[in-house]
Structure 1
Amino acid sequence: MDDKYTNAREHFFAAIRALSASADSIQARLIEANVNIVNVTIDEFNGDRELKIKFAKLLDLLAIDQDDLETVAVENAAHMSDFDAVKVADLICDFYYEIT
């Protein structure tokens, strides 16, 4: 594994652990995952336009209003339907797969 996206991989791996290692609701697990994902910046994907766009779309799903990304991501996840939360969780897992 190369050093490209090391920081992003670490945070996304922690997010996936939060999604999978709990009996809490999917919304609660997504909130925990968001804490890790918001530590990744879009600049980490400079040089890979496709990943940058996918990450931006994921951030848009997590937090439409990006003034305080972490707070908004928590609020959005708390009010997502189970179906929407599962879709976002799937996107997180897919994104992690792409950066590994």
Structure 2
Amino acid sequence: MDEKYTNAREHFFAAIRSLAASSDSIQTRLINANANILNVTIDEFDGDRELKFKFAKLLDLLAIDQDDMETVAVETAAHMTDFEAVKVADLICDFYYEIT
């Protein structure tokens, strides 16, 4: 497997496991997934403008306010409708697919 994006792949895979391996609400699973995704930095995608843009968009959906992303991500996910949370979960899975 390509060494590029190794850290991001590890964290996104853990996020996907959080989304898939729980009977909790989709919002709670997304909160757990966020803990892994927020360990990835946008700088990891230097050199790939499209991935950098997609990751930034995903971060915007997870935590609009950039002051304390972890707290904001929890609050944002907790107040999402099921439809919104599923949409974000789909984006997480799609992004993982693109970096593998």
Structure 2, gaps ≥5 residues long: none
Pairwise CA distance, 1:87: 0.1
Mapped partners of 1:70, 1:91: distance in 2:
19
| Cα deviations by residue, 1:9-37 (Å, 9 ceiling, x for unpaired) | 00000000000000000000000000000
CA RMSD, Structure 1 to Structure 2 (Å): 0.3
Structure 2 partner of 1:48: 48
Q: TM-score, normalised by structure 1?
A: 0.99
Match for residue 98 of structure 1? 98
For structure 1, the residue ranges without an aligned partner over 5 or more in a row are none
The structural deviation recorded for 1:89 is: 0.1
Runs of 4+ that moved beyond 6 A: none
Mapped to 2, the partners of 1:68 and 1:7 lie a distance apart of 22
Within 5 Å, give how 1:1-100 maps onto structure 2: 1-100=1-100
AA of the residue aligned to 1:37: I
Whole-angstrom distance in 2 between the partners of 1:40 and 1:67? 16
Give the number of aligned pairs. Answer: 100
Identity of counterpart residues, as a percentage?
86
Deviations 1:51-79 (A, max 9, x none): 00000000000000011111100000000
